[in-house]
Every structure is written in structure tokens, then in C-alpha cells.
Chain A
């Protein structure tokens, strides 16, 4: 946003009496969009802020009314029964389903972009279908399936379900990346004596990493925040969103706010860190 303001300032540098009204309009036009976007960001972040604020509430049984400031919840984030267990479960489910979905989805994406074969269209459709299926339907279908197969509900079934809806997102994300990858690079590798396997590991894969990382991030956030499908397929296994949903009926312990706020801050910190490191590295390179 500062970018915009800077630029607006720049354009008004040269003086000319005739231009004054025009300049005014332009400044307005330049400002309206960012202001609107800023309001949208506020809209997006107000509940997050609320969540963060109430993580400092000196709450009793419920965390609905502001009772006073305290750091207790942050000092003892696992204080409320089950909250940390649910959080750990969510992390576990998120990591495992992300790994599986990313691996499977990446392979599918590569195949879909790089090869032309009969049934490619159907494969594409099959990938798209889970994405276009409402979560209730997915959850219901999976639950019925697990029961028919007499699979005990728990970690395994939750992961299986999460992998299912993450795969499609991974495929689409990685597909975009593969498509933008110059096929000439793989040919160059082959030309330089790399076997197909070596060409994949030394050229294709490293170049896909940003796409794969993005896909993994997306998969993780979807899995971490999923409630509907989890609710159907988890049995007595509790994940963080499920814990929140269930406890919401009487009052969510402030520790849940602590954990949510923590995740939010963590995500911000990671991005800033990556940026700063990348910036420092590029600066170093340029310096040489």
C-alpha cells in the first residue's frame, strides 16, 4: 500500500497549472482501490484479532465475556483439557495427509501435463470431481464406506479422507507449475547424458519444488482447518477444529484462542523470515 501512495506522490512532481483538476481525479482513483482493499483486509482480520484478544481473557468456564487481561492462557496453553491433544492430532493429521497427498498429487500432475494418453480427459475429470463435491457428501460417503469395510474410525480414516480432498488441490497447483516448466529442460538433461530417472531428480523435481511447496502449504491449511469431513470420519478421534466445534456449544476455552493465535503469528513469522532471508541472499549475490 505504501507503494501506491509513493507512486501517487511521484506523479504529482512536475508543476503545471492546467493539470490541477486532472491530477486530483487521478489521485482519487489511485487511492480508492487500495482503501477498499484495506477495508477488505480489516474485514478478513477482525475475527482473527478478536480471537487473539480473547486469548488474553481471564475467562472462567466460558470465554464469551471480557473478564480482564491475563497471560495465564499463554503461559499454560495446554491448560484446558484435551486442547493440546486435539491440536497435536491436527498437526499430525495435517502433516501426514499433506505428505501423502503431495506425493500422490505431484505424480499425477506430472503425468497429466507431460504425457498424452487415452483417458487423459477422464483422469482430469476424476481429479476435479472431489473438488466439486461438497464436503458433506464426501464425508457421508466416506463414513458409509469405512463402516462397510469395518475400518475402525480414527487417525487412519481421517488421514485417508483428508488426503482425498487435498489431492485435487495439489494436482491443480502442481499442474500449473509443471505446465510452465520448459520441456526443453528435460530434453537438455537427456542430451547431457541424464537417464530419464536422473533427469527427473536432477532437473524436473528441483524446479517443481516451489510449486510442490505451495501445494503442500495449501493441503496443510485445508487439512488443518477441516471440520466437516473430519466430523464424519473421525469417530472418537478429536482434531482441533472438531474440539472447537464441540466445545463451542458451552464455551471455548481461551487456550483454543491461544493456539489459533499462535498458528497465525507463526504463519506470518515464517513468511517474513523467508522473505528476509531471500532478500539478504539476493543482496549478497548482487553485491558480488
Chain B
């Protein structure tokens, strides 16, 4: 199915060098609406958020009342208190990304390479990857919670088979949170890798075989490096939302050793009404992600990816 194929494309697409053109200002007409939108609804709000991160409480004011200031100490305080959650977020996001890669790559490989030329099968498998998007992800997460519950089949069976110590459990653990993250962002890993693999010329694999490379060697020396753009795109698309997620942590974790920064930001924002702290944590999170992503993209040599 071309739609889903292109959908994969999306994220792995490496733009070709743009042709030189006479400037006819046409680009302003094309870009204008979109960029103005982004400025209005992204740049300005994020700017405001930045400002908020420096606010101080109104002296003697009620809960949630703040006034403009340049109180950089907010950042120090916020980090001093919440750095464990921040680090944990990146750690969980990293684990989820690796897990999604390990699970998602074979899926993408089977869809793109093994099912090559079988359009119906390919389309079906692709839609099976995307379709969970259409069943609310909260429902799915809750379903996981029920499936992995202490009294449910999986845990009982594992206890019975002694795969799990008798007092161990699966829900409300870091494991549950990471697997929830992995699960929920898996399609974002599969699609770009699929797109990259689909573009892989099967003749290159034959060339590898012709040049004495065994299937495993061919994979290592040809398939894997050529799917790198997809892998990079996929890892970014999993890592970024996972690092900022709070739904999985609050539904599947909810303990101090699973607290993620998203939960903290949400709680500071909505429950404590501590806007400056929430804002400064947001800014820190955003900057940290940008720095990590920038370094990663540069290292993997796929700058023109995005």
C-alpha cells in the first residue's frame, strides 16, 4: 500500500539537494502560512514558557500566583530537586528506544524485505503496525496493566513455571514503564526502518552474496548500514516522545522509582500550580533533548535527515 509505504518514507526521507532556482519569492507564498502558524503557536508560547520559568511567587499571594522576574535560581532549584526524575526519563527513554529497535527492526525487515512484492501482505502487515494508533493508546496501556496484573494469566503462569520469583510482579515496576513506552512508540520505530529497507535495492544483497558474503555478513555489511537513516529516524521518533511521556509512568508505574520528568512537569503545572518550576523543567527537558538529538544526528552522519 503506497500510503503506508510513503508514511514510512516520511521519516526516513533524505531530501535530495534542492535544485538551484531563480528566486521568484514563490517560496514566501508557500512557506508563509505554515511558518507564521509555527511562530504564533510554537515560538511565542515557548518564549512565554521561557519567561514563566523565571517568575517568582507574588508575596503573600494565593496558590499559583506569580509575577514576572528574572529568577534564574528557579532552574537551580528545579534541577536540584528533580534531577533524578530527569535522568530516569532519559534512561527509560533510552531503554525503550533500544527495545523498540530490537523488536521493531525484524518487523520492518520482514515487511520490507521478506514480503517484498506481495502487496496485500505488505499492506496488511503495515496496517497492523499502524492500526493500534486507532485504538486509544490509553486503552491499550490499561489493557497491558490488566494482562500483566498479579492475578492474571501471565504472571500466574510465570510464577507457576518459576520464571518469576514468587513475590515478584510485573506491573508498577520500572520494567512495566519501559515496556509500556516501548510498546506505545513501537510503530514510530517500524515505519521509518521499513521505509529505508524498502528502498534498499535487493540487487545489492545479491551483489553481497556474489562477493562471498554469507547472509549474516551481508546483513552486517550491507543491509544494516544502508538502513541507518531509517534507524536514526526511528530512534529519534521513539526517544523524544518517550523522554517526555508521563502517561505510561503514571498508569504503569506510579512509584518513586518510576517517576519521569513528564509526570513532574504535569504535577507541578496542574497540581502544585508551581508554574515557574514546571516551566523551567520544560525548558531544561527541551534543551537537553535538542542537545542529545543534535549530537546523535551529527555522530551518525545523517544531518540532512530532518
Contacts and interface: CB of A to CB of B under 8 A. Distances in A.
Interface of A: 1-4, 26, 29, 33-34, 36-37, 40-41, 43-48, 50-51, 54, 64, 104-105, 107-108, 110-117, 123-124, 126-138, 140-142, 144-145, 148, 160-161, 163-164, 167, 169, 171-173, 175-177, 179-180, 183, 196, 210-211, 213-215, 217-218, 221-222, 224-225, 227-228, 240-241, 244-245, 248, 252, 256-257, 260-261, 263-264, 266-268, 271-272, 274-276, 278-279
B42 A164 contact: yes
A254 to B, nearest CB: 11
Nearest to B18: A116
B45 interface: yes
A115 B127 CA distance: 34
Interface stretch (B156-164, B168-176, B262-270): B262-270
Interface in B1-53: 1-7, 9-16, 18-21, 23, 26-27, 30-31, 33-35, 37-39, 41-46, 48-49, 52
B225 interface: no
Query: By CB atoms of chain B within 10 A, which of A26, A144, A261 has the most?
Result: A144
B205 interface: no
Given A51-B143, A115-B27, A132-B289, 9 more contacts: A1-B121, A47-B141, A48-B140, A113-B18, A130-B42, A136-B246, A137-B286, A173-B11, A225-B136
Contacts of A144: 45, 48-49, 52, 275
Contacts of A134: 240-241, 243-245, 262, 282, 285-286, 289
User: What does DSSP make chain A's interface, helix, strand, loop or mixed?
Assistant: helix
Contacts of A46: 143, 147
Contacts of A129: 42, 290
Nearest to B199: A180
Interface stretch (B68-76, B77-85, B100-108): B100-108
B143 A167 contact: no
10 contacts: A44-B129, A47-B143, A115-B23, A131-B240, A137-B265, A137-B283, A137-B285, A163-B37, A173-B13, A214-B6
B127 A267 contact: yes
B131 A3 contact: no
B267 to A, nearest CB: 10
B66 to A, nearest CB: 11
A173 B124 contact: no
B41 A115 contact: no
Residue with the greatest number of chain A CB neighbours at <10 A, chosen from B4, B116, B142, B262: B142
Given A141-B46, A176-B12, A275-B123, A117 B23 contact: yes
A177 B10 CA distance: 8
Interface string B263-306: 00110010000010011001101100110010000000000001
B202 interface: no
Interface of B is mostly: helix
Contacts of A26: 215
Nearest to B118: A3
Give the interface residue-count category, chain B: 35 or more
B6 A248 contact: no
B289 A136 contact: no
Contacts of A248: 138, 142, 251
A3 B115 contact: yes
B74 to A, nearest CB: 15
Interface in B109-134: 109-111, 114-121, 123-134
Contacts of A252: 139, 142
Nearest to B141: A47
B114 A110 contact: no
B186 interface: yes
Contact of B34 (A51, A104, A135, A214): A104
Given A43-B103, A135-B244, A145-B48, A51 B140 contact: yes
A136 B131 contact: no
A2 B2 CA distance: 21
Contacts of A117: 23, 27
A111 B33 CA distance: 12
Given A116-B21, A179-B13, A183-B19, A260 B136 contact: yes
A258 B273 CA distance: 37
Contacts of B26: 111, 115, 196
Contacts of A215: 6-7, 10
Contacts of B289: 132-134
Given A124-B306, A175-B13, A145 B144 contact: no
